[in-house]
Amino acid sequence: MTNIKNSTDIKYSDSVDSSRSVYSSYNVYSSCYVYSSRNVYSSYNVDSSRSVYSSYNVDSSCRVYSSYNVDSSRSVIFCYDIRGKELYAFNKQVTVSRYYEIRDAWYVIQGNFKLDQVNNSWEDAWKELPQQAWIELSKLPEFDQEVVEDIIGFKLDLSQPKEMTVAQISEKLGYDVKIVK
């Protein structure tokens, strides 16, 4: 074991940071219950998998991003309760090139957002992602709000803020509004 920081119950593992119950794994960060896996980040209950990011209950899979209940699957992003799938986004089949376009778009949309578990839950962490990021994600043609809500654990508000002039605001409020700097 090498490079272990702020972690517990670690056996036969390398490069483990802020994680617990990690066995025969390496490059594991901010994760729990990871077994025989590698390159696992901010994930929970990962078994015999690799390259898993911000996901929960992933088994025998690789290249899994922001997903929940994924089994024996490859190259999936924002998927919920799927098994034996390859090249899926929002529980829909996509092409290889489209999968990478969506993954790259998610990297841009999420910016510096880092999903961290709090009390074995991500719901509060997902709430830290700005509403505008969710709105941008929802613009992807494959986006499925129900699938995303199943993954993150709460309802999304994807309403766009309305642009209004000062005169329109004044009219709505029934009195004059003045902008001061």
Q: What is the mean pLDDT of the chain?
A: 77
**Region for 149 from its dihedrals, namely left if φ exceeds 0, alpha if ψ lies in -120 to 50, beta otherwise:** alpha
HSE-CB of 150 using CA atoms within 13 angstroms: 16
Rounded Cα distance, 131 and 125, in Å: 13
Q: Note if the pTM is more than 0.85.
A: no
> What tokens does 179 get?
């902008």
Per-residue model confidence as pLDDT tens digits over 35-85 = 566 666 667 667 666 667 667 667 666 777 777 778 777 888 888 888 888
